[in-house]
């Protein structure tokens, strides 16, 4: 059975599949040539990340396609229900990257609380005599301990983030649709696991005024609307800080820039953008925004877990060929 990992797969995933008798191809096929390649090479399994889209037109044009796997959480680049209605197994790896994304968000919060991203960029000017000016500019940061973090979307990633934030002494408010109490484990080396119970709110607008920091972990909305736009910015504390490592479009970028310009929002960290892979320049050059290129799940450890999990899903569905 042939597998096309069009956006790549870890060596651990490749080894697991090859040991089970699968042939794994990791050549990247351009989107416009994908149908031809799948049919010509008789690929029955297609693995993607966020770069490749798998729409119903592709599924209709590739009758031998049996499995579509998404390495990661969000599947907005795949017509999931349509594929399943055609008998195609469509799966993702929701657990594999939770820790990696949570750690990126923690790093982003530390960065924007002290304007580290901008300081790193401006420090070369210190050799020109700007050291004292920069010291004054960046000497008004804030600490995370004791601050309130609102986590919008309290699934696996949100809960992993809560564990780290609790360990840093932050107050955590979760937000989801169910509002059911969740036990969050906090691992302490030499001590063991301490559990904290959090009952998420179901009302976004009641949570926003309480938050010093806001992190977003929801999928792109089916109707295309932003989760955070001007009405939500208006409810926030003066000087709130925001991290979006979920999906471009869940924060309205025009309203975000306005909130930054007015001081309503102090700093922002963005790992995702509406116009990937070409984010708007106003975001990339704003000194109040720390930007990363959609790397939330891009750690060595997460990629290994994703590859193995995809391999296990495929073998579970189709067995071995040894």
Q: What is the pLDDT along the chain (322 residues), one digit of tens a residue?
A: 999 999 999 999 999 999 999 999 999 999 999 999 999 999 999 999 988 999 999 999 999 999 999 998 888 899 999 999 999 999 999 889 999 999 999 999 999 999 999 999 999 988 888 899 999 999 999 999 999 999 999 999 999 999 999 999 999 999 999 999 999 999 998 989 999 999 999 999 999 999 999 999 998 887 889 999 999 999 999 999 999 999 999 999 999 999 999 999 999 999 999 999 899 999 999 999 999 999 998 899 999 999 999 999 999 999 998 7
247 in active site = yes
SS3 47: strand
136 and 225 fall within a common domain: yes
Which among 246, 253, 254 is positioned nearest to 271, based on CA atoms?
246
How many Å apart are CA 52 and CA 6, to the nearest integer?
Answer: 7
**Which residues constitute the domain of residue 157?**
98-291
The per-residue pLDDT for 72 is: 87
Q: Are residues 312 and 176 in the same domain?
A: no
| 156, 217, 247, 305: the active-site residue | 247
31's enclosing H/E stretch is none
Same structural domain, 134 and 80: no
Tokens of 264: 């309503």
117 is catalytic: no
Give the other-Cβ count within 10 Å of 198's Cβ. 19
* 8 Å CB contact between 54 and 79: yes
In this structure, the answer to whether residues 159 and 243 fall within a common structural domain is yes
Are 122 and 251 found together in one domain?
Answer: yes
Closest listed residue to residue 90, CA positions, set 54, 64, 60: 54
Kindly state whether residues 192 and 235 are assigned to the same domain: yes
Q: Cα 163 from chain centroid?
A: 17
Tell me which of 274, 276, 287, 312 is the catalytic residue.
276
Same domain (yes/no): 106, 212: yes
Residues 250 and 314 in one domain: no
Is the four-CA dihedral 131, 137, 139, 141 of positive or negative sign? negative
Look up residue 109 and give its DSSP letter: H
Same domain, 111 and 250: yes
pLDDT score at 222: 77
**Residue 197: other Cβ atoms inside 10 A:** 8
User: Where residue 263 sits, what CATH number does that domain have?
Assistant: 3.40.50.720
127 is catalytic: no
pTM here is: 0.89
Q: What is the pLDDT of residue 74?
A: 81
The verdict on 189 and 269 lying in the same domain is yes
CA gap 65, 55 in Å, rounded? 13
How is residue 131 written in tokens?
Answer: 């050291």
Same domain, 181 and 225: yes
Q: Pick the catalytic residue from 49, 114, 294, 305.
A: 294
- Tell whether 60 and 154 lie within a shared domain: no
Number of domains in the chain: 2
């Amino acid at each position: 059975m042939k597998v096309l990992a069009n956006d790549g797969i870890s060596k651990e995933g490749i080894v697991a599949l090859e040991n089970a008798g699968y042939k794994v191809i990791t050549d990247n096929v351009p989107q416009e040539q994908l149908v031809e390649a799948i049919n010509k090479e008789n690929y029955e399994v297609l693995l993607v990340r966020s770069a490749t889209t798998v729409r119903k037109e592709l599924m209709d044009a590739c009758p031998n396609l049996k499995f579509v796997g998404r390495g990661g959480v969000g599947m907005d680049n795949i017509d999931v229900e349509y594929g399943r209605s055609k008998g195609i197994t469509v799966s993702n790896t929701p657990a594999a990257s939770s820790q990696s994304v949570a750690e990126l968000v923690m790093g982003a919060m530390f960065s924007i609380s002290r304007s580290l991203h901008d300081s790193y960029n401006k420090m070369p000017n210190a050799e020109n005599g700007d050291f004292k000016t920069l010291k004054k500019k960046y000497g008004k940061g804030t600490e995370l301990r004791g601050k309130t973090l609102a986590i919008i979307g309290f699934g696996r990633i949100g809960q992993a983030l809560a564990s780290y934030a609790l360990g840093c002494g932050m107050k955590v408010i979760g937000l989801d649709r169910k509002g059911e109490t969740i036990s969050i484990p906090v691992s302490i080396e030499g001590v063991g696991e301490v559990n904290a119970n959090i009952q998420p709110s179901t009302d976004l607008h009641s949570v926003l005024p309480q938050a010093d920091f806001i992190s977003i972990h929801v999928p792109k909305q089916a109707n295309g609307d932003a989760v955070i736009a001007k009405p939500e910015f208006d409810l926030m504390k003066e000087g709130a800080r925001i991290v979006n490592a979920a999906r471009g479009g869940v924060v309205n970028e025009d309203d975000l820039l306005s909130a930054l310009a007015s001081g309503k929002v102090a700093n922002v960290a963005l790992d995702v953008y509406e116009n990937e892979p070409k984010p708007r320049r106003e975001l990339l050059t704003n000194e109040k925004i720390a930007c990363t290129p959609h790397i939330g799940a891009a750690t060595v450890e997460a990629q290994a877990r994703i590859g193995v999990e995809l391999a296990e899903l495929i073998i579970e569905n189709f067995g071995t060929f040894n």
